[in-house]
Amino acid sequence: MWWRVLIIFLAYVLIGAHFLRFGHNEACIAFALSPLLLLIKSTWATRILQLGLVISAILVWGLSAFEYIQIRIAADAPWYRLSAIMTAVIAFTLLAAWCGNGIIEKRNQRKIFS
């Protein structure tokens, strides 16, 4: 289960770093501290983290990828590698959201057997 927590943590830190790059310190702090919700051992806290990751994959990474690719195309610069990298970042963020299901399942199993 520790690797699921690590993946979620890294995904949120990556989003926080994206906001820090543009000077949005409040958003950076909020995203960097969001994985602390995993310390609350309830389903709703993990679901909130999953929802945040899915929304971030679409609104943060999806829109950023679109804008960056449009800039590269307008500058007549190569953009294929950028699209592959941004696709990998989106996939990693969605993988982190999916890892939340495993955390919920493990917690539910422990409730049954304890």
Domain that holds residue 40: 2-113
Report, in angstroms and rounded to the nearest whole number, the Rg of the chain calculated over CA atoms. 16
CA separation for the pair 63, 65 (Å, rounded): 5
The number of folded domains in the chain is 1
- Three-state SS string across 48-109, please? HHHHHHHHHHHHHHHHHHHHHHHHHHHCCCCCHHHHHHHHHHHHHHHHHHHHHHHHHHHHHH
pLDDT over 70 (residue 17): yes
What predicted TM-score, i.e. pTM, was given to this entire model? 0.89
pLDDT (tens digit per residue) in 44-99: 999 999 999 999 999 999 999 999 999 999 999 999 999 999 999 999 999 999 99
